[in-house]
Structure 1
Amino acid sequence: MKLRPLGDRVVIKALETEETTKGGIVLPSSAKEKPQMAEVIAVGPGGMVDGKEVKMEVKVGDKVIYSKYAGTEVKLDNEEYIIVRQSDILAVVE
């Protein structure tokens, strides 16, 4: 199955966070911060969204930083994805 986002939506997959601190302490999953870095999996077509022209600025494969509590989490084929609006993406990591 494949996700195809509509409008200005982007499908991202969160990158795993480090499980140990700089001091070498292993963190349980409940103590880890929610990751804010992700990889772009699919990009919507853009176009007219809420009466405004939206040009998509990210592409598949980009590593991005997104708003901490943005988007809708979706599980598909045992993989977890997040669907966000392009405006919830704060930066592209180069």
Structure 2
Amino acid sequence: MPNEYVEPVGNRILVRKDESRGQTRGGIVLPSDAEIPTITGRVVEISAMVERDADFPVRKYDKVLYHPKRAIPVDLEADNRLFVVPIADVCAVFRRSTDPVGSGELTIAEEAGGDGESAGAG
């Protein structure tokens, strides 16, 4: 049997949701009912419509922050972490700065079409 894959259509992308965190960044272990909700993931596939639209700076393998309410789960993998997400529900794209100085600051492109804003600036 050939391998199956999911190709999103319309203004949608396919995202593999990041693992839920059971521990804070400081190392505090959280009880299972207090897990921090995960609404970030890696873009696995992009529809042809999104790929052609210059207004959406989302590319394959980008890490994105998305609104989970309209994300549609895809039952293709055992751990079921794939979701079809409308591009309008992508709130931010995480990128590394391409600053030639090499500051290494994380840049977040807001609202899937906004300018980059440095998360480390202050």
TM-score w.r.t. structure 1 length? 0.78
Q: Which structure 2 residue ranges, 5 or more long, are not aligned? A: 96-122
Greater shift in the superposed pair: 19-28 or 1-10: 19-28
The sequence identity of aligned pairs, in percent, is: 28
Tell me the matched-pair count. 88
**Counterpart-to-counterpart distance in 2, 1:87 and 1:74:** 19
Q: Write out aligned runs for 1:44-63 (5 A).
A: 44-46=47-49, 55=53, 56-63=56-63
Q: Aligned equivalents of 2:10 and 2:25: distance in 1?
A: 41
Structure 1 pair 33/7, CA: closer, same or farther in 2 (3 Å)? same
Equivalent position to 2:44, from 18, 41, 53 = 41
Deviation at 1:73, TM superposition (A): 1.2
- Alignment partner for residue 25 of structure 1, among 28, 50, 57? 28
CA distance in 1, matches of 2:21, 2:46: 27
Over aligned residue pairs, what C-alpha RMSD do you find? 2.1
Q: Which residue of 2 aligns with 1:86?
A: 87
Equivalents in 1 of 2:81, 2:25: separation in Å?
27
**TM-score when scaled to structure 2?**
0.62
* Greater relative contact order, per chain length (Cα 8 Å cut-off, separation 6+): 1
Give the C-alpha shift of residue 23 in structure 1.
5.7
User: In 2, Cα distance between the equivalents of 1:20 and 1:28?
Assistant: 9
- Equivalent residue number for residue 65 of structure 1: 65
Q: Is the Cα–Cα contact under 8 Å of residues 12 and 83 in structure 1 kept in the other structure?
A: yes
- Higher strand fraction (1 or 2): 1
Q: Are 2:10 and 1:16 equivalent residues in the alignment?
A: no
Q: Residue 2 of structure 1: which of 5, 25, 38 is its match?
A: 5
Q: What residue in structure 2 maps to residue 51 of structure 1?
A: none
Shift of 1:22: 5.0
Query: In the TM superposition, what whole-angstrom CA distance separates every residue of 1:37-83 from its partner, at most 9, and x where no partner exists?
Result: 11000000117xxxxxx714311100001014231112203142111
**3-state DSSP of counterpart to 2:81:** strand
